[in-house]
């Protein structure tokens, strides 16, 4: 039997999300997979009602606990291992691992370490500067014709594998 991740040591970090509804959807997806800590970087206020509409009342506790911080450095400062995510492939952005490969590593690391799963803005994703802060970078295999996933879909896929 493989080692199970210690989900209480795993957090979702959303770097400059654009839409309150997406934060709500992320809260729901994360809670479905047993992850209840979300850190939002670069924004201090989002429409709570819109977040609740997407999260359902059963994930309201996750919304209540969201930590809002000003900078990515502040967001990532308490974590010992950072997993970045990207749909854009390029020489300066890799090497990349699949969600499943990352999950195998995260399961062991999460036993005694705080892990951040870092997701970028909906419109641009993470820039190279943010990816350089990561210990590993995950890319989710998709059709080459359409590589963009909704933020909550990407969170759900990675959390499911973990």
Please give the pLDDT value at position 93: 61
pLDDT, mean of residues 57-71? 90
User: Mean pLDDT throughout 19-46?
Assistant: 92
Digit-coded pLDDT (tens) for 120-139: 999 999 999 999 999 999 99
DSSP 3: P
Closest to 33 in 3D by CA, of 138, 159, 152, 119: 159
Asked if residue 50 has pLDDT above 80, the reply is: no
Using 50, 70 and 90 to split pLDDT, how confident is the model at 37? very high
Query: Kind and range of the H or E element at 5?
Result: none
* pLDDT for 91: 63
The residues, any chain, with a CB within 8 Å of residue 79's CB and separated by 6 or more, are 11, 113, 114, 115, 116
Domains and CATH numbers, the chain: 7-161 (3.40.1280.10)
Q: What is the mean pLDDT of residues 96-118?
A: 95
Which whole number is the average pLDDT over 75-86?
96
């Amino acid at each position: 039997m493989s080692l199970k991740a210690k989900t209480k040591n795993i957090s979702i970090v959303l770097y400059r999300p654009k839409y309150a509804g997406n934060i709500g959807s992320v809260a729901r997806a994360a809670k479905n997979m047993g992850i209840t800590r979300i850190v939002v970087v670069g924004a201090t206020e989002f429409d709570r009602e819109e977040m609740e509409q997407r999260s359902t009342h059963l994930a309201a506790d996750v919304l209540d606990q969201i930590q809002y911080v000003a900078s990515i450095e502040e967001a990532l400062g308490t974590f010992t291992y950072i997993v970045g995510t990207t749909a854009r492939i390029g020489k300066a952005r890799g090497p990349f691992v699949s969600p499943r490969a990352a999950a195998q590593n995260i399961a062991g690391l999460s036993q005694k370490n705080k892990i951040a799963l870092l997701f970028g803005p909906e419109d641009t994703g993470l820039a190279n500067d943010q990816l350089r802060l990561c210990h590993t970078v995950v890319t989710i295999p998709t059709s080459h014709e359409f590589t963009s996933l909704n933020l909550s879909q990407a969170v759900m896929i990675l959390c499911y594998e973990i």
